Amino acid sequence: FPDMADLFNKHIKKATSRTKEKLLESVGKAQRTQDEAFDFHAGNLNKQAKACERLHKDLKIYADALKKLTEAEKSLHDSVRQVYEPEWPDRDHVVALSNTLDIQTDELEKKVNDELMGSVTAYVAQFNDLKKKVDKRGRKLVDYDHAKNNFNSLKASSKKGDSDPKVTKAFTELQQAELLYKEMNNELLEVLPATYDSRITFLVDTLQTLFNSRSTHQTECAKLHKQLVTQLDALGVSMDSLRVARPEGLSTTPQREASPARSGGSPVPSPLPQHSPAPSSGAPSDVSAPTPSKRTSIVEEKCENNLYPKLNSAPPPKESPKSTEAPPTPEPRKDSNEVVARPSLGTNPFGDEEEEEKEEKKEDKEQNSNGVQTKNDKASAKSTNPFDDEDDEEIDAEKIEHERAGGRKVVYLVRSTHDYKAVDTDELSFASGELIKVLESTTEDNLDDGWKMGQAEDGSIGVFPENFTKRE
């Protein structure tokens, strides 16, 4: 392997001479060739390579992210196609729009990853070759400086001058080194400026391709998105026709019927009988029995106390333990014929005293034979007395005769048996056991059946369901 050994020795010799020459130039003992024009172009090359490499790196990151975004958008559009049910309006149109969006996204992704990245990668790759040529030119320059310094040194020290073989050999090496250096230097002086000037056209082409592709993609996608929004608006409009059937739920809260003024239907019949006379100023408005005259009220009260001493002294009935489960249903109003069922009491308060005593004894015997009645039985017996309601109404009317609330007359008092939460703004909210004043209603109140106008303990005025309360 003699050739390999010679080449290796030659390489070692050149490396040693170059290192020695650089060391001498650094300390100032050897002359160094300066080329400011080349140094300027070499500096531009480094700056241009650094900027293009950064652009290539960031564009590569963008291309990878765009590829992932494309996959995510396709997955999203596929979900939209699955969610949009077949029976919904214009499903085929929605599917076609989503497919077109996928095509637009694919075109942008291919434009960036294939065309754009390929051109940028090819442009950046040339800097490695140019940098290698610049490094080689630097080595040739060191060889040229070494040959020139060696020739000058031998020529100065030789006594024979140019005829000295060593000087002649040194001159030959100088010519060869100068030829290689200038050839490489001239080539780079032509390539480097042209490469640096190409940065403008490169950036224009690259960025125009990128932004034009994105602009086209966004414009087309914006049109498709607007069409999808319009289609979804149509779906929202048709929502009522697409609702599923719902079973009617049972509600424990009494429902207020629509008033004639709101519903436009037939007027709701009044809870009071049409033939009932108007109540007096001191009596409750919901009493259906005729009000006795003031001349006979005292006599009737005495007669009632004599006939029903035990019933009048019975305590008020207590609420049933089941009352908390659902609101109580108000008792049906008695007919006027039932109130005057006893003509001897209703028409003649001064009837036969013997018959009254017999009737009282008969009732005492029935009570003794049946034992102690429950509170609910007592309350039922008390409600059959035609004089109780009238006397209570007489007393309540005397108590609240002059009371007024919010410009309205207080008719009577009730106490709530259940909690009630207002549904509308004109309704009262109250807790169980709260005292409520029933106010006189007007035609403007437009009350529904089973509702009264009242005032709560906190002073608020509004309507409330009557079956959530009991009379005091």
Give tens-digit pLDDT for 240-295: 777 877 776 544 444 544 444 344 444 434 444 333 333 433 334 443 434 444 44
- The domain limits of the chain are 7-236, 296-385, 400-472
Q: 453 pLDDT exceeds 50?
A: yes
* Sign of the torsion formed by the C-alpha atoms of 18, 182, 44 and 27: positive
pLDDT by residue (tens digit) across 136-174? 998 888 888 888 888 887 887 777 777 777 888 888 888
pLDDT for position 444: 82
Confidence of residue 450 (pLDDT cuts 50, 70, 90): confident
Q: 36 pLDDT exceeds 70?
A: yes
Closest CA to 45 of 160, 133, 138: 133
Q: 46 pLDDT exceeds 90?
A: yes
Comparing 196-210, 243-257, 413-427, which segment has the lowest mean pLDDT?
A: 243-257
Closest CA to 51 of 205, 187, 202: 202
Comparing 153-157, 326-330, 466-470, which segment has the lowest mean pLDDT?
A: 326-330
User: Which helix H or strand E contains 109, and what residues bound it?
Assistant: helix 91-110
CB hemisphere CA count around 83 (13 angstroms): 9
Question: Distance (Å, rounded) from C-alpha 390 to C-alpha 340?
Answer: 12
Structure-token pair, residue 235: 């779906």
pLDDT for position 408: 82
Buried b or exposed e, range 125-139, using 16+ CB within 10 angstroms: eebeebeeebeebee
Q: Which residue has the tokens 């390579």?
A: 49
pLDDT (average), residues 118-126: 94
Closest CA to 385 of 317, 351, 334: 334
Dihedral over alpha carbons 454, 459, 460, 461 (to 10 degrees) = 30
Count CB neighbours of 320 within 10 A.
Answer: 12
When comparing pLDDT for 416 and 250, which is higher? 416
Closest CA to 409 of 460, 453, 347: 453
Comparing 65-79, 110-124, 287-301, which segment has the lowest mean pLDDT?
A: 287-301
Q: Which residue has the tokens 């004089």?
A: 387
When comparing pLDDT for 125 and 290, which is higher? 125
pLDDT by residue (tens digit) across 229-247? 999 999 988 887 778 777 7
The residue type of 220 is: E
Buried b or exposed e, range 40-60, using 16+ CB within 10 angstroms: ebbebbeebbeebeebbeebe
User: What distances in angstroms separate CA 380 from CA 311, 315, 368, 464, one per listed residue?
Assistant: 10, 12, 17, 26
User: What distances in angstroms separate CA 469 from CA 398, 414, 456, one per listed residue?
Assistant: 22, 6, 12
pLDDT by residue (tens digit) across 1-16? 556 777 767 667 777 7
Mean pLDDT of the chain: 73
When comparing pLDDT for 24 and 256, which is higher? 24
Long-range contacts of 415-424 (CB under 8 A, 24+ apart): 415/469, 415/470, 415/472, 416/468, 416/469, 417/319, 417/323, 417/328, 417/468, 417/469, 417/470, 418/323, 418/324, 418/327, 418/328, 418/468, 420/253, 420/464, 420/465, 420/468, 422/462, 423/253, 423/256, 424/256
- Does the model's pTM come out above 0.75? no
Confidence of residue 345 (pLDDT cuts 50, 70, 90): very low
Is 466 in contact with 256 (CB distance < 8 Å)? no
Q: 318 pLDDT exceeds 60?
A: no
Check residue 446 and give left, alpha or beta (phi > 0: left; psi -120 to 50: alpha): left
At the topology level, CATH places domain 7-236 in Substrate Binding Domain Of Dnak; Chain:A; Domain 2 (1.20.1270)
Question: Distance (Å, rounded) from C-alpha 316 to C-alpha 308?
Answer: 15
Question: Distance (Å, rounded) from C-alpha 223 to C-alpha 229?
Answer: 10
Confidence of residue 403 (pLDDT cuts 50, 70, 90): low
Count CB neighbours of 402 within 10 A.
Answer: 9
Q: Looking at the domain that runs over 400-472, which CATH code has it been given?
A: 2.30.30.40
When comparing pLDDT for 29 and 451, which is higher? 451
Out of 360-364, 377-381, 413-417, 422-426, give the one with best mean pLDDT: 413-417
The residue type of 11 is: H
pLDDT for position 95: 94
Residues 6+ apart with CB under 8 A from 45: 127, 130, 131, 134, 192, 195, 196
In sequence order, what are the beta bridge partners of 420? Answer: 430
Residues 252, 271, 385: CA angle, nearest 5 degrees: 95
Confidence of residue 359 (pLDDT cuts 50, 70, 90): low
